[in-house]
């Protein structure tokens, strides 16, 4: 569906050069909700904007639906972009126009007949549940409602791909959840391929089946969301995984371990086996079940007060039983 090959982007301002992207290779399948996560300045916006050439790549190739975007002349590019919708953190709505006219805008550019515009806008308004706001102006809408208008406008030309640049970063958690649910519905019902860039782990966990981690303009890890976040391979990935599970300081005195249970490993037998086998007390500090892509991962934070060599044996035992172990710092 989307194939990015050896993509680089260098910004040049006078004598200054900023290398924003270096040798990016990515493959996004049809129907994926593909997440790209990274810290601020990692190159996320540059990457997503190169896909539809809003930003001109310095080198590399970008195939969307077997068309190399790089080969297109301006007329061809305009046509190809109609099949690539985009939404933004700041919504980018036309503030002097009504909700109806905002959504109709791309269709008017195409000289679509009025009757068809009306039908299309009405069905999009129904989809994003904003029928009652048809005559409202953007200033009269909440952030979540503005993004719904953005989504409806992005879908007006029946695109195959939707690019989302930090689409929920300006929204509160509850509204974020609603927008993510809407994106999920669109992906399921229309088979739309969605590319999501974000600095928020929760967004990736909630909707992305695959994820790439971008760091200083390079992809440092890539794969199924569930695999990447249950076995993070490097520090940046760990940073994102741990974002949502911080513990109060006072817990970090003994030998505190973070345990992740996957692939059907049940918590209790493993823990009670540790207690029996090693004759230790296991103090459970916190526990929760997380869902990544509707798959369960059990997370347990435990404290075991034993000598270091015994703790190492326990860690080895847990890992042999398919529990991922992470030792918390004191």
Question: Which residues of 29-154 form beta strands (DSSP E)?
Answer: 33-37, 59-64, 67-68, 84-88
Q: Is 159 in the site for ligand ADP (CB under 6 A)?
A: no
Stretch of residues binding ligand ADP (CB under 6 A), selected from 33-41, 181-189, 266-274, 305-313? 33-41
Stretch of residues binding ligand ADP (CB under 6 A), selected from 36-44, 117-125, 236-244, 271-279? 36-44
Q: What is the rounded distance in angstroms from the CA atom of residue 11 to the CA atom of residue 86?
A: 22
| Cβ distance to ligand ADP smaller for residue 44 or 210 | 44
8 A C-beta contact, residue 98 and residue 81:
no
Question: Taking the complex as a whole, how short is the minimal distance between the CB of residue 44 and ligand ADP, in angstroms?
Answer: 3
Interacting positions 94-153 with ligand ADP (CB under 6 A): none
Q: Which of 37, 45, 150, 236 binds ligand ADP (CB under 6 A)?
A: 45
Distance from first CA to last CA of the chain, Å, rounded?
Answer: 46
> CA dihedral defined by 46, 47, 48, 51, rounded to 10 degrees?
110
In what helix (H) or strand (E) does residue 315 lie, and over which residues does it extend?
helix 308-320
Alpha carbon of residue 32 to chain centroid: 11
Which x/- pattern, by CB under 6 A, does the window 79-98 give for ligand ADP?
--------------------
In what helix (H) or strand (E) does residue 93 lie, and over which residues does it extend?
none
Question: Taking the complex as a whole, how short is the minimal distance between the CB of residue 140 and ligand ADP, in angstroms?
Answer: 30
Q: How many residues make contact with ligand ADP (CB under 6 A)?
A: 12
Beta bridge partner(s), residue 161 = 84, 193
| Cβ distance to ligand ADP smaller for residue 88 or 261 | 88
Q: Is 41 in the site for ligand ADP (CB under 6 A)?
A: yes
Q: What is the rounded distance in angstroms from the CA atom of residue 6 to the CA atom of residue 2?
A: 13
Interacting positions 10-29 with ligand ADP (CB under 6 A): 11, 13, 18, 20
Q: Which residues are near Mg ion by CB under 5 A?
A: 44-45
Name residue, tokens 């009670």.
272
Stretch of residues binding ligand ADP (CB under 6 A), selected from 38-46, 84-92, 230-238, 258-266? 38-46
| Cβ distance to Mg ion smaller for residue 39 or 311 | 39
Q: What is the rounded distance in angstroms from the CA atom of residue 149 to the CA atom of residue 91?
A: 8
**What residues contact 5, with CB distance under 8 A and at least 6 apart?**
25, 60, 61, 62, 63
Query: Binds 106, which of ligand ADP, Mg ion, none (CB < 5 to 8 A, cut-off by type)?
Result: none
| Cβ distance to ligand ADP smaller for residue 92 or 277 | 92
Angle at 192 between CA 189 and CA 194, to 5 degrees: 125
Where on the chain is the footprint of ligand ADP (CB under 6 A)?
Answer: 11, 13, 18, 20, 38, 40-46
């Amino acid at each position: 569906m989307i194939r990015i090959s050896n993509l680089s982007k260098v910004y040049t301002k006078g004598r200054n050069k900023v290398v924003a992207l270096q040798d990016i290779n990515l493959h996004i399948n049809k129907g994926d909700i593909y997440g790209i996560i990274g810290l601020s300045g990692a190159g996320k916006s540059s990457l997503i904007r190169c896909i539809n050439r809003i930003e001109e790549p310095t080198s590399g190739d970008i195939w969307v639906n077997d068309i190399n975007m790089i080969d297109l002349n301006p007329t061809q590019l305009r046509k190809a972009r109609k099949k690539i919708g985009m939404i933004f953190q700041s919504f980018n709505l036309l503030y002097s126009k009504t909700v109806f006219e905002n959504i109709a805008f791309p269709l008017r550019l195409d000289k679509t007949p009025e009757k068809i515009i009306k039908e299309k806008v009405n069905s999009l308004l129904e989809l994003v549940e904003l029928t009652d706001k048809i005559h409202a102006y953007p200033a009269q809408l909440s952030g979540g409602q503005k993004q719904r208008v953005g989504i409806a406008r992005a879908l007006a030309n029946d695109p195959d791909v939707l690019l989302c640049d930090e689409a929920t970063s300006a929204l509160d958690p509850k509204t974020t959840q609603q927008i993510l649910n809407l994106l999920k519905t669109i992906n399921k019902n229309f088979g739309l391929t969605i590319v999501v860039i974000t600095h928020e782990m929760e967004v990736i966990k909630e909707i992305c089946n695959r994820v790439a981690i971008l760091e200083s303009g390079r992809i440092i890890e890539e794969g199924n969301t569930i695999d990447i976040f249950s076995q993070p391979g490097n520090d940046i990935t760990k940073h994102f995984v741990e974002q949502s599970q911080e513990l109060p300081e006072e817990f970090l005195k003994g030998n505190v371990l973070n345990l992740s249970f996957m692939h059907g490993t049940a918590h209790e037998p493993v823990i009670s086996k540790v207690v029996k086998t090693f004759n230790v007390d296991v103090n459970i500090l916190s526990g929760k079940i997380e869902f990544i892509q509707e798959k369960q991962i059990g997370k347990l934070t435990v404290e075991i007060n034993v000598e270091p060599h015994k703790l190492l044996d326990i860690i080895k035992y847990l890992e042999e039983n398919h529990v991922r172990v992470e030792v918390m710092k004191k």
